Structure 1
Amino acid sequence: MDERVTVCFCFSSKKSNGKGSRSSKWEKKENLLSDMSTFSVKEQERRLKKALKEEDKASKEAEKVVQWVKQESARMDADAIHKILTTPSSTTATNHF
């Protein structure tokens, strides 16, 4: 069954009353925008900083995994690998590689 989500954006078509001069309305909007934009920029900077920390953490973890794989593969003996691949296992069916 395919569920669809319906979203409705409602707004009022009512015009604001004409009280107050245009310049005072503009000043109020200007202050509001500057406060919101400052908050927005700070929020974006905070999120960017957090994302960069997470990226560094993931990168370091990936480097550790790469080093671990290199170390483990260096320890493997070619004859041992061949023996493992050619010996049938009692718990699984024989795989041909």
Structure 2
Amino acid sequence: MTNQEFKERINKNDSTMVILDVRTMDELKGALPKIGGAIHIPIQELKNRVGELEQFKNKEITVVCRTQNRSTFAAKYLREKGYNAKSVNGGMMEYYKK
């Protein structure tokens, strides 16, 4: 998903989209904070915590990280588990770019 589409869907309060942030806790404290309402599961914990996303199987899970590397991996993993998951191009670096 492009960053522009991601921003538009957030601005429209798209209820069909769930945001999953897979960055570390330390990354959330920096200059690129978590988007309000996003679920936070660090990529290192995703395999053990994937069950927490079961309630969102009927929604699109939009995965973000700092640059898109981890979110691409996480989205692929979630699709293999039967979820409708996408990664955001450019990640949070692009999202917060001025």
TM class, shorter-chain normalised?
Answer: under 0.3
Normalized against structure 1, the TM-score is what? 0.18
The structure whose RCO (Cα within 8 Å, separation 6+) is larger is 2
Larger % of strand: which?
Answer: 2
Larger % of helix: which?
Answer: 1
Normalized against structure 2, the TM-score is what? 0.18
